[in-house]
Amino acid sequence: MINDWKPDSKASIWDECKGDEDIFFKDINLEHIKQVGPSCVATTLTMIARSTGANVSVDDFKKITNSQSPHTWSNALKPFGMQLAYCNIDLRRIEHYIDELVSHKDLFLLSFYSINPPSDPDSKGKLCTAHIVTLCGDQIYDTAKYKHSGGVVQAHDYSRLERQTKRIFRVVPLGYQRCV
């Protein structure tokens, strides 16, 4: 028995990092896509799938995903040799962990609340609106904005770093041991 054990309140976003050899997608080339309507998940997945050379559309991903079910997002990426892995997160604002995420030099999906979330959902079961963006290396790709109007920016210059986290995923190769 360990008598002096105490819970550790800090956990890194990705606790299995081994340095540069743990970068899965360092040579990925993303092309920004501007979303139409409330389709940030499907648009983001399309952008990532197209980086593999796939000829897919946002409608292809709308058909096979549920915007509130990350498991469907991960399954939708499998034909392209990718899947998602949950990261250690809490409700912190993006600005509190952006340095750590950028230090991984890899591909992440950051989901955040568009407003300060209430503690309980409304009468229809909705908590509040959320959004998802892609972090690739040190750049954020935001499908809600046009490429040259904040849609592709340096991570530290992103206009919504003060937003509170809903989920963070790392994009990992298909079959990677830690996955959704």
pLDDT of amino acid 97: 92
The mean pLDDT of 71-96, rounded to a whole number, is 94
* Least confidently predicted of 17-21, 86-90, 124-128: 17-21
In the chain the first and final C-alpha atoms are separated, in Å, by 33
The number of angstroms, rounded, from the C-alpha of 177 to the middle of its chain's C-alpha atoms is 18
CATH number of the structural domain spanning residue 134: 3.90.70.10
Residue 73 counted as domain residue? yes
pLDDT tier at 118, thresholds 50, 70, 90: low
Query: In the chain, how many domains are there?
Result: 1
- Is this model's pTM higher than 0.85 or not? yes
Residue 95 counted as domain residue? yes
Domain with 85 in it = 33-173
Q: Over pLDDT 90: what percentage of the chain? A: 69
Residue 28 counted as domain residue? no
Residue 8 counted as domain residue? no
Residue 92 counted as domain residue? yes
Residue 13 counted as domain residue? no
Select from 102, 92, 130, 81 the least CA-distant residue to 14: 102
User: Is the Cβ–Cβ distance between 157 and 132 less than 8 Å?
Assistant: no
User: Is the Cβ–Cβ distance between 138 and 50 less than 8 Å?
Assistant: no
Residue 58 counted as domain residue? yes
Dist CA 59 CA 45 (whole Å): 11
pLDDT of amino acid 4: 84
Residue type, 118: P
Helices (H), 2-141: 40-50, 58-64, 70-77, 98-103
Dist CA 109 CA 112 (whole Å): 10
Q: Over pLDDT 70: what percentage of the chain? A: 93
Average pLDDT, the chain: 90
pLDDT digits (tens, 9 = 90+) for 32-76: 999 999 999 999 999 999 999 999 999 999 999 999 899 999 999
The mean pLDDT of 114-134, rounded to a whole number, is 79
Residue 19 counted as domain residue? no
pLDDT tier at 120, thresholds 50, 70, 90: confident
